[in-house]
Amino acid sequence: EDPILSPAARKIAEEKGIDPAAIAGTGKGGRVTKEDVVRHAEAKPAA
Amino acid sequence: MANQFDVVVIGAGPAGYVCAIRAAQLGLKTACIEKWTDDKGKTKLGGTCLNVGCIPSKALLDSSHKFVEAQKDFKLHGINHSGVEMDVPQMVARKDKIVDQLTGGVGGLFKANKVTLFEGAGKVLANKQIELTKGDGSVEIIDTKNVVIATGSRPVEIPPTPTDGDLIVDSTGALQFQETPKRLGVIGAGVIGLELGSVWGRLGSEVIVLEAMDRFLAAADEQISKESLKIFKKQGLDIRMSARVTASEIKGKEVHVTYSDADGNDNVVVFDKLIVAVGRRPYTESLLSPDCGVNMDERGFIFVDEHCATDVPGVYAIGDVVRGPMLAHKGSEEGIMVADIIAGHVGHMNYELIPSVIYTHPEIAWVGKTEQELKAEGVDYKMGTFPFAASGRALAANEKEGMVKVISDVKSDRILGIHVVGPSAAELVQQGVIAMEFAASTEDLALTIFSHPTLSEALHEAVLAVDGQAIHIANRKRR
């Protein structure tokens, strides 16, 4: 199943070119929150 | 080169002015062109929505609703008065004042954000050049890196009932009546027809609404549209379905309208005023030079992709002039998306979750899929409803008509649609829009605390009812 992203998480992931499936979601049922995307981006800066 | 802009927006309606403000905020040198003027030749910003659409219609709906309440409902509360009268010119003047304030506000926002306003008509030439024709007939060429077309829409005219600006009018004329017509005809039982019919019906017009389609509010959930039709009929709106208008004749100060009914029989109805509200069409008059490269689809909408880009790189089109629902908030969000894209950011718009609202009383609103759409798509869904008659807050407010309906996916429980007819329908649906943006399940909302007593509780209970767990109604037995 496709990961579920909050609206802000969706936008940041697209801006930074991050594959949503690669982000560990901490929201209910594995939902990806804005915090999750920001944390993911900081840990692995885009090339 | 006198003028060189990053963005030139043609049209200052909700799509265009929002796009211009956002583009300026993002540091782009932005201009907006508007040709609409009042009878004194002063430029009017805000487009259809602010001048002759959303805002003025809501002002009249609110005034006329207060009149009905005072007339019919105050007694119930123990409020007695010796008679209420409606001063129609005063009601219309209040509306005009609100319009002036808001359209003036757009001008102020342009100034604050340093958006250059060009007064006149814009035409898209080849190579993204814009030809500006001013009110005095003089012509100027504007150079720009990007163009955003936001020229909006116009009421559709139909051959059997040509508008004459007096007896037969479109929605604009219907907002300017200086007295309540005794007998009012409305062609079209869509959003505009129902809202305008309601305004004048509340003030005493005998209203007949003629609708060519056989199903009332075909885009709404069927259960909600049936419930709504029942309520409107009780309010005295004579809504006739499958009524195809074939001819009209003006005799003195009367309009004689001929329509064929479901059985194919001809009927004649006589009105003092007739409102033609059969729909709106994209407005592109004198907009495109033949060699500009921008294409239109077969219905006259400017052809765009999912990011509102036309066939010419750097030329975008947004709002009523492109595909999708003709709603102010749809146009504005497209304006934001396009400004973001031009500034080099990600631009995104969720077309799945554009809410719809009809500002009758009770209000009708919805978002997401209807039950009949889900049936057609073969989706396995479950649903719950809650009537306002069981809401303590609604009873206290004497607003007991209508219901909330929530539909979710059987397997995932994800909410797929929310449909409301009743008090504050738009606000309740908006709560659902927010939840749905986060892919909420009915369980998510069920676990959320709703204040008591509030109308919002009806959404909570409808959500609980999806799994047969509503507290304040007897739950339907699951299949």
pLDDT tens digits along B296-327: 999 999 999 999 999 999 999 999 999 999 99
Of B420, B219, B457, the residue nearest B325 (C-alpha): B219
The tokens for B369 are 């899929």
Residue B362 token pair: 């009770």
What DSSP letter does each residue of B180-207 carry, written as one string? --SEEEEE--SHHHHHHHHHHHHTT-EE
Residue B250 burial (C-beta neighbours within 10 Å; 0-12, 13-18, 19+): middle
**Contact assignment for B439 to A11 by CB distance below 8 Å:** no
Confidence of residue A43 (pLDDT cuts 50, 70, 90): confident
pLDDT at B1: 47
The 3-state secondary structure of B52-112, one letter per residue? HCHHHHHHHHHHHHHHHHHHHHHHHHCCCCCCCCCCHHHHHHHHHHHHHHHHHHHHHHHHH
Query: Hey, which residues of B are catalytic here?
Result: 452
Contacts of B350 in chain A (CB under 8 A): 7
CA-based nearest distance B243→chain A, Å: 44
What average pLDDT score do residues A9-37 get? 91
Mean pLDDT of chain B: 96
Q: What is the pLDDT of residue B176?
A: 97
Find, among B408, B367, B356, B412, the residue nearest to B384 by Cα. Answer: B408
Residues of chain B with pLDDT > 70, as a percent, come to 99
A15 touches chain B (CB under 8 A): yes
DSSP conformation class of B296: B
pLDDT value at residue B371: 98
Q: Do B346 and A11 touch (CB under 8 A)?
A: yes
Q: Is the pLDDT of residue B359 over 50?
A: yes
Q: Which residues of B touch A (CB under 8 A)?
A: 345-346, 348, 350, 437-439, 444
Q: Which pLDDT value is given to residue B376? A: 98
| Contact flag A6-B346 (C-beta cutoff 8 Å) | no
* High-pLDDT (> 90) share of chain B, %: 97
User: Is B348 close to A31, i.e. CB distance below 8 A?
Assistant: no
pLDDT tens figures, B255-285:
999 999 999 999 999 999 999 999 999 999 9
Tens of pLDDT, residues B322-355? 999 999 999 999 999 999 999 999 998 999 999 9
How far is B173 from B238, CA to CA, in rounded Å? 21
Angstrom distances, CA of residue B40 to CA of A19, B36, B62, B99: 56, 11, 28, 16
Q: Contacts of residue B437 in chain A, CB cutoff 8 Å? A: 6-7
What is the predicted pLDDT for the residue at B2? 53
Q: Once rounded to an integer, what is the mean pLDDT over residues B346-366?
A: 96
A6 near B CB under 8 A: yes
Average pLDDT over residues B241-267: 97
Q: Cβ contacts (< 8 Å) between B444 and chain A: which residues?
A: 28
Vertex B413 angle, CA B419 and B347, to 5°: 70
CA distances from B43 to B119, B421, B451, B461 (A): 7, 38, 46, 49
Whether the predicted pLDDT of B13 surpasses 70? yes
Among A12-26, B110-124, B277-291, the minimum mean pLDDT is found in: A12-26
| pLDDT for the residue numbered B325 | 98
What pLDDT is attached to residue B252? Answer: 96
CB contact under 8 A, A6 and B345: no
Closest-CA distance, A46 to chain B, in angstroms, reads: 16
Determine, for residues B346 and A28 on separate chains, whether the beta-carbon distance falls below 8 Å: no
Residue in the block written with tokens 């056989």: B214
CA B106 and chain centroid, separation: 20
Give the residue among B279, B277, B274 at the shortest CA–CA distance from B206: B274
B346, B350, B444 ranked by CB distance to A14: nearest: B346
Q: Report pLDDT digits (tens) over B38-55.
A: 989 999 999 999 999 999
